[in-house]
Amino acid sequence: MSAASSGRTALMLNELHLPTIKRLAPEFAERSDKEGWPATRFLDGLLEHELAERAQRRIARHRAESQLDPTKTLASFDFAAVPMLSKAHVMALASGDAWLEKGATILIFGPPGVGKSHVGCGIGHALIDAGYRVLYMRTSELVQRLQAARQNLQLPQALTKLDRYDLLILDDLSYVRKDQAETSVLFELIAERYERRSILITANQPFSGWDSVFPDPGMTVAAIDRLVHHSTIFELHQVESYRGKEAARQHKIQRDNQKQKAKPARETAGTA
Ligand code: ADP
Ligand code: MG
């Protein structure tokens, strides 16, 4: 490509928003001229690169907007620590498809520290890799946002905005405060997405403890009905807290190190 024509080409590629082709065109043109490529090979090669990078940029955008903790992936999740959680089942859900299309729900219950948020985020990351859009939020934060929207008479619009996400991860549902429950925005969100758009919920307490999350028992039952209708429930109850286990492991390493350090001193003392 001559300098003049490559300058013009770059301008046109800017105008067309084709940054990958713009970057690769000079090198491709040079090789194509030198090796005598057919025109279709030159054109298809550039277009394929643009499409591939566009897909990558889209996934990176989706990951940035998701608010997912970047470290909580399925690759960094130790399934051996939670034997009652089927890895195969989680992996199947993590590929998306049927359950997302019918707006089904995943419910993950268990005491603090067992890995509920981690496995939930891990599923979220995998779905983003598969091309879906995911939003992670602490439930109380989302409720706060929706309450503010309701005060501004914008609740329907706020709920519609959330429709762009194939999956909404509501972490720590049982931490919704009583005064937040009274506004029922959470119920409206659940009813709005029912059988259309998926929700993944984590909670310390299974349903019996949800009375404080919704304004009245009738609404609690109605919310639970909708959530369990098409759902997968994982209960991570019996396991030892991973956080606790990890702390104990670190503690043991430290103790062993200290012992190791103390040993030569004692040995020296013994021979003195
Ligand atoms: P929960 O949401 O149930 O309270 P988290 O998912 O926040 O628990 O887990 C607590 C900490 O322990 C996090 O740092 C998490 O990454 C880690 N963790 C828990 N379970 C596992 C696991 N099975 N494999 C790897 N890390 C884990
Ligand atoms: Mg958590």
Confidence of residue 28 (pLDDT cuts 50, 70, 90): very high
> Which residue lies with its CA nearest to atom 12 of ligand 1?
243
Q: What backbone torsions phi and psi does residue 235 show, to the nearest 5 degrees? A: -110, 115
Examine the pLDDT at 212 and tell me if it is beyond 90.
no
Report the nearest atom of ligand 1 relative to the CA of 236: 3
Are the C-beta atoms of residues 203 and 236 closer than 8 Å to each other? Answer: no
Taking the centre of ligand 2 as the mean of its atom positions, its distance from the CA of residue 88, in whole angstroms, is 22
Report the nearest atom of ligand 1 relative to the CA of 78: 24
One-letter amino acid for residue 183 of the chain: T
What CA–CA distance (Å, rounded) separates 21 from 36?
19
Taking the centre of ligand 2 as the mean of its atom positions, its distance from the CA of residue 127, in whole angstroms, is 19
Nearest bound ligand to the CA of residue 139: 2
Phi-psi sector, 136: left (phi>0), alpha (psi -120 to 50), beta: beta
Confidence of residue 269 (pLDDT cuts 50, 70, 90): very low
Taking the centre of ligand 1 as the mean of its atom positions, its distance from the CA of residue 152, in whole angstroms, is 37
> Which residue lies with its CA nearest to atom 27 of ligand 1?
115
Nearest bound ligand to the CA of residue 118: 1
Taking the centre of ligand 2 as the mean of its atom positions, its distance from the CA of residue 203, in whole angstroms, is 8
pLDDT digits (tens, 9 = 90+) for 49-100: 999 999 999 999 999 999 999 999 999 999 999 999 999 999 999 998 899 9
Confidence of residue 263 (pLDDT cuts 50, 70, 90): low
What CA–CA distance (Å, rounded) separates 189 from 210?
16
Confidence of residue 261 (pLDDT cuts 50, 70, 90): confident
Report the nearest atom of ligand 1 relative to the CA of 114: 3
Confidence of residue 203 (pLDDT cuts 50, 70, 90): very high
Tell which one of 243, 246, 249 to mutate to probe ligand 1, the residue whose CB is within 8 A of the most ligand atoms: 243
- pLDDT number for residue 167: 98
Examine the pLDDT at 257 and tell me if it is beyond 90.
no
Are the C-beta atoms of residues 229 and 198 closer than 8 Å to each other? Answer: no
Average model confidence (pLDDT) for the chain? 90
Taking the centre of ligand 1 as the mean of its atom positions, its distance from the CA of residue 196, in whole angstroms, is 30
- pLDDT number for residue 271: 38
Taking the centre of ligand 1 as the mean of its atom positions, its distance from the CA of residue 74, in whole angstroms, is 11
How long, in residues, is the chain? 272
> Does the model's pTM come out above 0.75?
yes
Confidence of residue 242 (pLDDT cuts 50, 70, 90): low
Domain boundaries, the chain: 3-66, 79-243
Give which of 216, 148, 156 is closest to 181, Cα–Cα. Answer: 216
pLDDT digits (tens, 9 = 90+) for 155-179: 999 999 999 999 999 999 999 887 8
- Distance between first and last Cα of the chain: 84
Examine the pLDDT at 189 and tell me if it is beyond 60.
yes
- pLDDT number for residue 250: 77
What CA–CA distance (Å, rounded) separates 171 from 168?
9
With pLDDT > 90 as the criterion, what percentage of the chain qualifies? 74
One-letter amino acid for residue 152 of the chain: N
The fold adopted by the segment(s) 79-243 is Rossmann fold (3.40.50)
Q: Are strands 105-109 and 167-171 parallel, antiparallel or unpaired?
A: unpaired
With pLDDT > 70 as the criterion, what percentage of the chain qualifies? 92
One-letter amino acid for residue 219 of the chain: M
Residues in contact with ligand 1 (CB, 6 Å cut-off): 72, 77-78, 81-82, 110, 112-118, 202, 242-243
Q: Strand locations in the chain, DSSP E?
A: 105-109, 134-138, 167-171, 198-203, 231-235
